[in-house]
Amino acid sequence: MQIRKFGTLALLGGVFFAFGAQAYETAARNAILMDYETGEYMFEKNIEEAVPPASMSKLMTVYILMSKIKDGSIKLDDTFSVSENAWKKGGAATGGSTMFLSIGDNVSVENIIKGIVIQSGNDACIVVAENISGSEEEFADLMNKTAQELGLKNSSFANSTGLPHPDQKMSMEDLAILSRHIIQEFPDLYHYFKEKEFKYNNIKQGNRNPLLYTMEGADGLKTGHTEEAGFCLAASAVQGNRRLIEVMSGMESNKERSEESERLMNWGFREFKNYKMFEKGQIVASADVWYGKAPTVDLAVADDVVKTIHRSQTDNIQTTAEFDEPIKAPIKAGTPIGTLKIEIEGQRDIEIPLVAAKSVQKVGLWGRFWTNIKYFFFGAK
C-alpha cells in the first residue's frame, strides 16, 4: 500500500479554515446541526440516542405520502376517506393536535398534507395510514421498512402520529437525515412546510414552527411536543447559497424552543462556510503501472469535493492518497484505484474515491517479456 501525504492543502481560490473544538452549548437535551449540501455535522449533542420524537415523527408519514405522489400512484387531487377510528383517535377529544376532520369526509390529498405539516393533525396522519396501508399498524410496518431503506439506524415506529408509545423512537441524526431526504426528493412539494396557516372546516390554524416568523430564509420542517419528549423542532433555513438543517428535542418551553433553535441556526450560518477543496477530475497523484503502454496513470477525484469548515480557526488540512501499486494494465478510465483521505482538526475524517484519469492499455506479449526481464534485473522500478 502506497501512502503519500501532501501536507497543507491550498483552497481553490482562497484559504482553508479548519474547525477546532467549538465552545457551544444548548439547553436542548439532544441536538444536531447539519449542512444540507455536504451532509456534514456542525454541532452534535446526543445525536444517536433514540428518544420520543413526538410529532416530528410525522415527517416519516409525510415522506411516505410524498413518495407515493412522486411515483404517480397518488395524486394531489385524489381524496382520502375519514373513518370513525381516525376521527376518534386523532380528534380534539384526545388532547392532541388535530385537523378537525369529520367522519365520512372525503379530503383531498393536498389538504391532508397541509393538515399534517401546518396543523400537525393526528387525525390527518391516521387517515394517511388507513388509506395507504389499510390500518395504522400496517402503516407502522411500512414506516419501519422505509426507515431501514433510508439508513435510519436509531428509529422505530408504532404509529403514524408520534403520540406516546414505547416503540415510537427516533434519534436527532435520523431526523436530520430524513429531513434532508424530504428536501432533496420532493422539491415540488416541499413548499407546503413554509405555509404559515391553513383553514379547514372553517377552523384556521397557524404553523407552530417558530422560525417561520422570526428567521430569514426559514422554510420548514416540523415541531413536536409531548410531556416525555419536551418541546422539539426539526427545522431548515436558507441564507445565501447555503441551507442548514437542525433538529432539537427536550426543551422545557415553547419560548426556549424558539430561542434555542434560532440561536443554533444563526451560529451555524455565522461560524461555518462551505469550501470547494477539489474539482471533479482534478489529478492529485500518479501510480506506477505494470504491463502498461504508459509507465504511470494519473489518479483523480471522481466528483467535486465540498467541505463544511469553521471560518475562524486556521489550521493545516492533511491529505493522504492511499493506493496499491504497481497497478496492472489494462486500466479503464474511471476505475477506482485508491482513496484520498482528508483530515481536519476537530472534524470527522472523510475519504474520497480516487479513479484512473485516463485509460492505459496493456502491452503485447513481447512488451510483457521485456517488463519481466527488467523486473528480474532491476526490480519494480
Cα separations (Å) of 254 from 157, 223, 274? 25, 10, 32
**Is residue 155 annotated as a catalytic residue, yes or no?**
no
Q: How far apart are CA 75 and CA 297, in angstroms?
A: 52
Q: Which of 55, 97, 160, 179 is catalytic?
A: 55
CA dihedral 47, 119, 148, 77 (to 10 degrees): -150
Q: Which of 58, 89, 114, 307 is catalytic?
A: 58
Q: How far apart are CA 337 and CA 333, in angstroms?
A: 10
Please say whether the dihedral angle defined by the alpha carbons of residues 200, 204, 207 and 208, taken in this order, is positive or negative: negative
Q: Taking each helix axis as running N to C, give the angle between helix 122-133 and helix 136-149, from 0 to 180 degrees, rounded to the nearest 10.
A: 90
- Closest CA relative to residue 167, chosen from 175, 177, 155: 155
Q: Which of 57, 83, 97, 120 is catalytic?
A: 120
**Is residue 307 annotated as a catalytic residue, yes or no?**
no
**Is residue 58 annotated as a catalytic residue, yes or no?**
yes
Cell matching residue 184: 432533496
Largest CA distance in the chain: 91
Rounded to the nearest angstrom, the gap between the alpha carbon of residue 88 and the centroid of all alpha carbons in its chain is 35
- At position 235, the amino acid (one-letter code) is A
Cell matching residue 308: 463544511
Rounded to the nearest angstrom, the gap between the alpha carbon of residue 44 and the centroid of all alpha carbons in its chain is 14
Q: How far apart are CA 51 and CA 304, in angstroms?
A: 36
If DSSP codes are grouped into helix, strand and coil, which group holds residue 186? coil
Task: Number of helices (H) and strands (E) in the chain: give both, helices first.
Answer: 9, 18
8 Å CB contact between 324 and 338: yes
Q: What is the DSSP letter of 91?
A: S
Cell matching residue 276: 470547494
Enumerate the active-site residues. 55, 58, 120
